[in-house]
């Protein structure tokens, strides 16, 4: 088999597509997937740099999601059969021709979605389902602020909130006129330039002083104080990324006055049982909306996996909208080029 190998922590140039040892057969409760495509997530960039090691026991190969066809099933697996078209949430290993994954973390490719495009769904769907609708409990009629609305998670979160909570007011931040226009097309009621505008003031103005009931934040420390200021009474802030740093100052007095909640959560290191429950919720709550066309996978570009370094550079340049995918040899992906 082949996989992306990392010579040493560093820039995109440290990666190469190379022959590696074959994986063992899937163990009990596991499925082997012949990978058609994977996706580039920010966690992959950090792992490549040596800043985000995989959890104990996980594959050292990059890649937190994939799509493909079932190649083999382990003992006790009854939900999947060889040749089923699937996508999966991984702890690692997606940048390879084959990966073994717990069967409970596998999803069917939604009707109407291509096999390659499905590679960009598991991570964003699991993140949004577990945070926005699970932990934060976004209700219809509330105000939802999404930071980084043009990102993979952002584009999915906007569509999911519009599909599942149609009366929600959706406010999002983005960094360019092109991205601001795109998030409006996807369903945002208000798009704020984080380069040119104060998102707290703009949010308060747009909501007549109410603020946001739920905030999905990928920045962390640099936005912490402003996010707390932006919360409505009994608002919930969910931090899922640290692009703006990991240490910030929290105004507990303001948080107490608002009876607010701050959550900080990650997905990759959760126990298998929790991931299984999240994937089951994704299939029940979100897959019907995807199959109905109310939520679409937003694919910015597909790179052949041999050009994985170019794909990482493209994501690091921050010009993309939605997901950047990696297609393995033999995949049909010309529609995205």
* 127-137: pLDDT as tens digits: 999 999 999 99
82 neighbors 71 (Cβ within 8 angstroms)? yes
Tokens 């949430």 correspond to 89
The average confidence (pLDDT) of the chain is 96
User: What percent of the chain has pLDDT above 70?
Assistant: 99
Query: What's the CATH code, domain 2-121+297-336?
Result: 3.90.180.10
pLDDT digits (tens, 9 = 90+) for 154-171: 999 999 999 999 999 999
- The tokens for 118 are 């499905």
pLDDT band at 330; cut points 50, 70, 90: confident
Nearest-Å Rg of the Cα atoms of the chain is: 20
Strand bridging mode 231-239 / 212-217: parallel
Cα(86)–Cα(70) distance, rounded to whole angstroms? 7
Nearest-5° Cα angle at 167, 161 to 168: 50
Could you tell me the residue ranges of all domains in the chain? Answer: 2-121+297-336, 125-264
Cα(267)–Cα(225) distance, rounded to whole angstroms? 24
pLDDT digits (tens, 9 = 90+) for 13-43: 999 999 999 999 999 999 999 999 999 999 9
274: CB partners within 8 A, 6+ apart: none
Nearest CA among 118, 232, 122 for reference residue 169: 232
Cα(234)–Cα(135) distance, rounded to whole angstroms? 14
Q: Is the pTM of this model over 0.85?
A: yes
Beta strands in 53-204 (DSSP E): 65-73, 85-89, 98-102, 106-108, 143-146, 169-174, 190-193
pLDDT digits (tens, 9 = 90+) for 79-133: 999 999 999 999 999 999 999 999 999 999 999 999 999 999 999 999 999 999 9
Q: Would you identify the CATH topology of the domain 125-264?
A: Rossmann fold (3.40.50)
pLDDT band at 333; cut points 50, 70, 90: low
pLDDT digits (tens, 9 = 90+) for 72-82: 999 999 999 99
**DSSP H helical segments within 96-150, as ranges?**
122-128
Strand bridging mode 85-89 / 65-73: antiparallel
Which conformational region is residue 172 in: left (phi greater than 0), alpha (psi within -120 to 50 degrees), or beta?
beta
pLDDT digits (tens, 9 = 90+) for 181-231: 999 999 999 999 999 999 999 999 999 999 999 999 999 999 999 999 999
Nearest CA among 112, 114, 100 for reference residue 70: 100
Beta strands in 74-211 (DSSP E): 85-89, 98-102, 106-108, 143-146, 169-174, 190-193
99: CB partners within 8 A, 6+ apart: 23, 32, 33, 35, 59, 61, 63, 66, 88, 90, 93
Cα(42)–Cα(311) distance, rounded to whole angstroms? 12
Measured CA distances, 214 to 169, 189, 205 (Å) = 11, 15, 17
Q: Do domains 2-121+297-336 and 125-264 have the same CATH topology?
A: no
159 neighbors 142 (Cβ within 8 angstroms)? no
């Amino acid at each position: 088999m082949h996989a992306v190998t990392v010579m040493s922590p560093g820039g995109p140039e440290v990666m190469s597509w190379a022959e590696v040892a074959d994986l063992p057969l899937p163990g009990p409760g596991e499925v082997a997937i012949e990978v058609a495509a994977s996706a580039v997530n920010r966690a992959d960039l950090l792992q490549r740099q040596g800043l985000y090691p995989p959890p104990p026991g996980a594959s050292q190969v990059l890649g937190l999601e994939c799509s493909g066809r079932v190649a083999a099933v382990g003992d006790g697996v009854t939900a999947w059969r060889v040749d089923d078209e699937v996508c999966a949430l991984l702890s690692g290993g997606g940048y390879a021709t084959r990966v073994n994954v717990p069967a409970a973390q596998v999803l069917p490719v939604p009707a109407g979605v291509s096999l390659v495009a499905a590679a960009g769904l598991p991570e964003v769907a699991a993140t949004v389902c577990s945070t926005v609708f699970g932990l934060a409990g976004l209700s219809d009629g509330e105000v939802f602020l999404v930071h980084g609305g043009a990102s993979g998670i952002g584009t999915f979160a906007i569509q999911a909130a519009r599909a599942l909570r149609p009366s929600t007011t959706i406010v999002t931040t983005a960094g360019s006129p092109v991205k601001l226009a795109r998030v409006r097309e996807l369903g945002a009621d208000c798009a704020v330039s984080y380069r040119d505008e104060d998102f707290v003031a703009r949010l308060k103005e747009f909501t007549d002083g109410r603020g946001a009931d739920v905030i999905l934040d990928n920045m962390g420390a640099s936005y912490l104080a402003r996010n707390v200021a932006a919360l409505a009474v009994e608002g919930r802030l969910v931090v899922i990324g640290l692009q703006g740093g990991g240490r910030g100052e929290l105004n507990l007095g303001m948080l107490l006055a608002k009876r607010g909640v701050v959550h900080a959560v990650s997905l990759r290191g959760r126990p298998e049982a929790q991931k299984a429950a999240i994937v089951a919720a994704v299939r029940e709550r979100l897959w019907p909306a995807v199959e109905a066309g109310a939520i679409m996978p937003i694919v910015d570009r597909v790179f052949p996996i041999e050009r994985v370094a170019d794909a990482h550079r493209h994501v690091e340049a921050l010009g993309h909208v939605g997901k950047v995918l990696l297609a393995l040899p033999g995949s049909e992906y010309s529609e995205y080029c």
